[in-house]
Amino acid sequence: MKAIPVKNGNTYTINITSLGSNGEGVGRIDNFTVFVPYALKNENITITITTVKKTYAVGKIKHIITASPQRVTPRCGLYYQCGGCQLQHIAYPEQLKIKRQQVIDAIEHIGKQKNILIQPTLGAHEPWNYRNKMQFPIGKENKKVIIGCFAQGSHNIIDTENCYIQNKLNNDIANATRDIVQKLGISVYDEDRHTGTLRHIVGRVGKNGDCMIVLVTATKELRRSREIITLLRKKLPKLVSVHQNVQTYRNNVIMGRETNLLWGKQTIKDSLGPLSFHISPRSFFQVNTIQAENLYKKALEFAALTGSETVIDAYCGTGTITLFLAQKARKVYGIEIVKPAIYDARKNARDNHIKNAEFVIGDATAVMPRLYRQGIHPDVVVVDPPRAGCTPIVLKTFASMNPQRIVYVSCNPASLARDIALLAELGYKTKQIQPVDMFPQTSHVECVALMSRVQK
C-alpha cells in the first residue's frame, strides 16, 4: 500500500482543480486528494494539513499565492466562524455556475446518466436577506445568552445579531428574544447536560411582514411566559403569533410534536404567485418565497398541463405545488403522511377557492395504488421528496401507474441522480433538469427534472 504523502500539521503548496459538493476546494498532492474549505478552483495556495484519513486529507488555507478572480470579501464578519453559509467568498454569478456543475457531476458520476440537458441555474434577483424562516439555537457563554447558527462542524453557537441571509425581521426576533431571556433570567438549554428550558427560537415572516415566534422548550412548563409575550410585543410591532413547541428528547431534532398557542393567531399568511397560504409552526413552506415561485412555475411548465389532465402530487406538504398545478389541471390529488400539513393544505385550497384539488393523508406507497384501483390514472406525477429522495418502492409505484410525465422536484442532486437512474430502468427518460438557486450564499441547490415515459 502506497504511503500517504501528507502529514498532519505540515505545510504544502497545492493547486485547486475543482470544488466539492459543499463548495470546498479540491486538489491533489502526489495524486492524494486534499479538501480545502474556502479555496477556489484554479487557485494556488499554501495549506496546513488539519486532518488525515486513508483516502483523503483536509487542509486549512495558510496563504493564497494566486487568487481566483471570482474571490470576493464575504459580507458577513462571522462568515468564517459560522456554518450557515459556505459560498459568501465567491462572486454570485460564479456561485450559479458552481451549482449547475454540482448537478452535472451528480447526474454523470452518481446516476451514470449522459446527454441530459442541464440548464443554467436560475439565480435570485436578491441573493441576501431572503430567508422567511429562522431556526436558531439558544445557549449561554460566560453567563450571557447567545443566539445564532452553529459553528461549522460543531454545536458551538456563534452569537449572531445580523444574519445576512435572514429576513431582517427574523434578525429582530432573535435580538429581541436574546434581550428578553437575559433580562428575565429564563433558563436556557444545556445540550451536554440535557438541562434548562429554552432550546431554539423559530421565527417566520409572511410577505406582508407579519411574523410568528415559536419558543422551543425542553420542558412542558415555560416560566414567565406572559412577561415574555408582553416584552416581545413591545419590541416587535408586526408580531401576530407566539407558540410554544415542546421538544423533550435528547437529540438534534429542532421541533417536537406538541405545539401550544400562547398568544395571537394560529397561523400567519404568505403567498406564492396568486395563491395565499396559512403557515402553522410546523408547516413546511419554502424559505425563499420569490425563488419558490420561480421553482413552481418551472414545475408547472414541465407538467405541460392543458386542463384535461389528472395529476398526483406525492409529498404535497401544505399543498403549495398542488394548488399551483390545480390552476391548469382537471383534477389534482395531493398525498402527504403528516396530518397537520394536510389540514393546512385543505384550508389553503378553501381560502384560494380551488375545488379541483383533493388531499389524502397517508404514505404514497399505499395511497397511490389505492387511487389506481379506484380508477384514478394520473397523466402526470409530481414529486417533491425529502432530502434522502424516494425509496425504490415509491419510484416503482409511480412507474406502475404509467403517467405520461414525472416532474421531480429535488433539494439534493445526489439523491435525484440515484432516482433518475432507477426511473430510467423503469421506462422514464429524463429530458432536462433546471437548477434553481433557492439558497444563495450556501452550497445547496434545488432542481426540477422532467421525465417522460419511453414509447415502446
Which sequence positions are flagged as catalytic? 411
Long-range contacts of 215-218 (CB under 8 A, 24+ apart): 215/177, 215/242, 215/243, 215/244, 215/245, 215/262, 216/244, 216/245, 216/246, 216/247, 216/254, 216/255, 216/256, 217/244, 217/245, 217/246, 217/247, 218/189, 218/194, 218/247, 218/248
Which of helix, strand or coil describes residue 157? strand
Which helix (DSSP H) or strand (DSSP E) does residue 410 occupy? Answer: strand 405-410
C-alpha 215: how far from chain center: 21
Cα–Cα dist 171/387, whole Å? 27
Cell numbers at 430, concatenated = 429524463
With b for 16 or more beta-carbon neighbours within 10 A and e for fewer, the 10-30 pattern comes to eebebbbeebeeebbbbbebe
Cα–Cα dist 280/343, whole Å? 10
Count of beta carbons in the 10 Å neighbourhood of residue 5:
13
Cα–Cα dist 347/279, whole Å? 10
Cα–Cα dist 122/100, whole Å? 9
| Cβ 20 vs Cβ 35: under 8 Å | yes
Alpha helices for 377-428 (secondary structure H): 392-400, 413-425
Which helix (DSSP H) or strand (DSSP E) does residue 376 occupy? Answer: none
* Segments of 20-112 assigned E as strands: 25-29, 32-36, 44-52, 56-66
Question: DSSP string spanning 195-224?
Answer: B-SEEEEEEEE-TTS-EEEEEEESSS--TT
Alpha helices for 248-338 (secondary structure H): 289-303, 320-326
Total residues found in the chain within this entry: 456
- How crowded is the C-beta side of 186, counted as CA atoms within 13 Å? 32
C-alpha 338: how far from chain center: 18
